[in-house]
Amino acid sequence: SPGRLQDKKLKITKFNCFAGRVLCHLDECGVEDINEAVEQAKTAFNIWGKMSGMERARTMIEAARIIESRREEIAQMEVINNGKSITEARLDVDSARLCIEYFAGLASTLSGQHVQLPGGSFAYTRREPLGVCAGIGAWNYPFQIAAWKSAPALACGNAMIFKPSPVTPVTAVLLAEIYAQAGVPQGLFNVVQGGQETGRILCQHPDIAKVSFTGSVPTGKKVSLYGIKPVTLELGGKSPVLIFSDCDLENAVRGALMANFLSQGQVCSNGTRVFVQKDILPEFVKEVVKRTKSIEIGDPLLETTRMGALVSRPHLDNVLSYVNQAKKEGADVLCGGEVFLPSDPKLKDGYYMSPCVLGNCTDEMTCVKEEIFGPVMSVLSFETEEEALHRANDTTLGLAAGVFTSDVRRAHRVVEHLKAGSCFINNYNITPVEVPFGGFKMSGIGRENGQVTVEYYSQLKTVFVEMGDVDSLF
Ligand SMILES: NC(=O)C1=CN([C@@H]2O[C@H](COP(=O)(O)OP(=O)(O)OC[C@H]3O[C@@H](n4cnc5c(N)ncnc54)[C@H](O)[C@@H]3O)[C@@H](O)[C@H]2O)C=CC1
C-alpha cells in the first residue's frame, strides 16, 4: 500500500542467476532514504552545476579511466548480477566507459545562441541543467543503463539518483563508488535500492526535476503520469528484421543471430520477428538453426560460453510458456526452447534454456505479437517488399528494425517506411554511443546517446537585453 515503506524496511533477496543461490539481501529504500538522497544531491548540484563544462569533463574522464582499470572486476560482478556471458559483460562495461567519455567530450560544447534584434538590442539563450534527475533501470544491462543515464545527466551539470532493478541491484553501486573516487561532489550520483514503490516515491518527489526510465511499457505509462516533469522513456519492442533474397546470406544469418540471442535474448531492441523472402527461406532457416544449435550454453564466467542464464526463475518459466503457446498455435519448434541443464553440478539450479527458433510462424501468433524477452526467434516468410513493410509496421511498438539487402536503393526506401526509432541496414543491434537510440510509438519518448541527448538533460533559458529605452504604451 502507498506509504508502506515509511515505517518498515522490506528486504530484497537477490539470487545468483547462474547457480540459483542467494547472493545478497538488501533493504528497500523508503521515503526517509530518498529524502536524504535528494538533499545530498541538491547540495552536490549546487557545486557541480556551477562548474564549467571543462571542469566536469575532467572528473568524468577520470571516472572513465577507473572503469577501464576495473573492467574485469566490474564485468565479473555483472555476470553474477545478471547471468550474461563474461564476453558480453565486458562489452557492456566498455559501452558504459565510452558513454562517459563521449558525454565528457560534449560537456564543454554546451552553448546557447545569440540573436540580434532591432535598435542594437539582442537576446541570447543559455542551456542550463535541470537539477536533480532520477534514473530508473531495467535488469538486462544494469551497469550500462546506469552509465547511459548518468553520463549525459552529469555532463549537463545535473545530479542523479539512480534506482536499479531489484532483480539486478549490484553493479550500479560500483558506478556510484567510481564517480565518488573520481572526485564528483558527495551525493552527486547516488543509488537507492528497491522495487516499484521506491521507484514511485523517487519519481514523485517534488525536487526531482526529470525522470529517465528504462523498462516495460506498462511501467513507462505510469511513470509518464507522475507529474509535470520531463521524462525519457526507453521501453519495450517487438522489432522486425526484413531479409530480402538479394542479401548477402552469410551476413543476414549473422545479423539474425545478433538480433535475437545477445544477453539470452533479453534485449529491448531485439529483432524477434524475422521476415525472410520466400525463395531463400529454406536455405536461411537451415543455416540459422545449425548455428543456433551450436551456441555454447553454460557457466557465463567461462571464456567459451556464448549464452549464460536468464535473469530469474519466474522469467525463465515465462519465456518457456511462450514457446509452449507457440507450439499450441501451430508454430514449429525448429530447435531449442527447453530447460538446459549444464554438466557442472554447481550450476544445476541456474536459469538456463536452449535458444529457440520457431518456424512456420504467422502474424496472429502470440510469439509474433508479444515481447518475449528471451532467446526465441520467430521466422516468417514474405513475398513482396510492400507486403513485408506493411506486416513489419503492424505493431504498436517501434523501437528498432533491420533490413538485409544488397540493393542500396531498396535499403534506404525500406528504412524510410519502417516505423521505428533505430534502424539498421545490413547489421543489427549495434549501439555506438555517438548515435541516438530510442523508440517510435509505444516504445518510448526521447533518446539516449548522441548529441541530441543534451536536450533531454538541460533546459533552455531565453534572455532579452534592451539597449534602448522602454517603449511603453502606458
Ligand atoms: N528501450 C530500452 O532501452 C530498453 C527497454 N527495456 C524494456 O524493459 C522491460 C524489462 O525490464 P523490467 O525490469 O522487467 O521492466 P519493469 O518495467 O518491470 O521495471 C523497470 C524498472 O522500473 C521500476 N519500477 C517498477 N514499477 C515502478 C513504478 N510504478 N514507478 C517507478 N519505477 C517502477 C522497477 O523496479 C525497475 O527498476 C522490457 O519490456 C524491455 O523491453 C529493457 C532494456 C532496454
List residues with catalytic annotation: 234
Ligand 1 pocket member 193 (CB < 6 A)? no
Residue 7 has pLDDT above 50, yes or no: no
String of b and e for 165-204 (b: at least 16 CB within 10 Å)?
bbbbbbbbbbbbebbbebebbebbbbbbbbbebbbbbbbe
Task: Give, for ligand 1, the residue of 216, 217, 395 to mutate: max count of ligand atoms closer than 8 Å to Cβ.
Answer: 216
Of 99, 214, 267, 269, the residue with max ligand 1 atoms within 8 A of its CB, to mutate for a pocket test, comes to 214
Q: For residues 439 and 176, what is the distance between their CA atoms, to the nearest angstrom?
A: 28
- From its phi and psi, is residue 263 left (phi > 0), alpha (psi between -120 and 50) or beta? left
- Backbone dihedral region of 187: left (phi > 0), alpha (psi from -120 to 50 degrees) or beta? left
Confidence of residue 8 (pLDDT cuts 50, 70, 90): very low
DSSP letter for 10, please.
P
- Residue 350 Cα to chain centre, angstroms: 24
Rounded distance from Cα 248 to ligand 1 centre (Å): 36
Question: How many CA atoms does the CB half-sphere of 255 hold within 13 Å?
Answer: 28
Q: What pLDDT, on a 0 to 100 scale, did the predictor assign at position 10?
A: 62
Cell of 154: 552529469
**CA–CA separation, 459 and 173 (whole Å):** 28
| Residue in this structure with the C-alpha cell 500500500, named with its chain if needed | 1
> What are the C-alpha distances in Å from 98 to residues 40, 68, 383, 450?
27, 10, 41, 12
Q: Is the pLDDT of residue 306 over 70?
A: yes
C-alpha cell at 195: 522495487
- Is residue 253 within 8 Å of residue 287, measured between CB atoms? yes
Give the SS3 label for residue 24. Answer: strand
pLDDT, one tens digit per residue, over 371-392 is 999 999 999 999 999 999 999 9
Binned at pLDDT 50, 70 and 90, residue 12 comes out as confident
CB of 421 closer than 6 angstroms to any ligand 1 atom = no
The least confident of 6-15, 38-47, 122-131, 190-199 is 6-15
Ligand 1 pocket check for 376: Cβ under 6 Å: no
Instruction: Ligand 1, residue 166: give the atom nearest the CA.
Output: 35
Three-point CA angle 129, 151, 264, nearest 5°:
140
Q: Which atom of ligand 1 is least distant from the CA of 220? A: 17
Between 11 and 134, residue with greater pLDDT: 134
Which of ligand 1's atoms lies nearest the C-alpha of 218?
17
Q: Which atom of ligand 1 is nearest to the CA of 448?
A: 3
Q: Is 261 helix (H, G, I), strand (E, B) or coil?
A: helix
- Concatenate the DSSP letters of all residues of 82-143 into one string: H---HHHHHHHHHHHHHHHHHHHHHHTT----EEE-GGG-EEEEEEEE-SEEEEE--SSSHH
Q: What is the pLDDT of residue 329?
A: 98
Q: Residue 3: what pLDDT?
A: 40
What mean pLDDT do residues 60-86 have?
A: 97
ipTM above 0.90, yes or no: yes
Binding site membership of 204 for ligand 1 (Cβ less than 6 Å): no
CB 138 less than 6 A from any atom of ligand 1: yes
Q: Which of 23-27, 106-110, 190-194, 231-235 has the lowest mean pLDDT?
A: 23-27
CA distance 453 to 458: 9
* Closest residue to atom 32 of ligand 1, CA basis: 199
Please give the average per-residue pLDDT across 169-188, as a whole number.
Answer: 97
d(CA 277, CA 382): 5
State if residue 196 touches ligand 1 by the CB under 6 angstroms criterion.
Answer: yes
What are the DSSP calls for 358-406, one per residue? Answer: EES--TTSHHHHS---SSEEEEEEES-HHHHHHHHT-SSEESEEEEE-S
- pLDDT beyond 90 at 5: no
Identify the residue whose C-alpha is closest to ligand 1 atom 3: 234
How much is the pLDDT for 22? Answer: 84
What spacing in Å lies between the alpha carbon of 215 and ligand 1's midpoint?
2
Write out the H or E segment, with its range, that includes residue 185: none
Minimum CA distance residue for ligand 1 atom 26: 196
Q: Is 92 in the pocket of ligand 1 (CB under 6 A)?
A: no
How far is Cα 183 from Cα 63, in angstroms, rounded to an integer?
Answer: 8
**Is the minimum distance from the CB of 82 to ligand 1 under 6 angstroms?**
no
Residue nearest to atom 25 of ligand 1 (CA): 196
How far apart (Å, rounded) are the C-alpha atoms in residues 15 and 295?
25
Give nearest CA residue, ligand 1 atom 19: 215
Give, rounded to a whole angstrom, the gap between the first and last alpha carbons of the chain: 57
What pLDDT, in 10s, does the model give residues 119-153?
Answer: 999 999 999 999 999 999 999 999 999 999 999 99
State the Cα–Cα distance between residues 52 and 359, nearest whole angstrom: 56
CA 84 from chain centre, in angstroms, equals 15
Q: Which of 129, 105, 126 is nearest to 451 (CA)?
A: 105
Q: Which atom of ligand 1 is nearest the CA belonging to 140?
A: 43
Cβ of 268 closer than 6 Å to ligand 1, yes or no, is yes
Ligand 1 pocket, residue 236 CB under 6 Å: yes
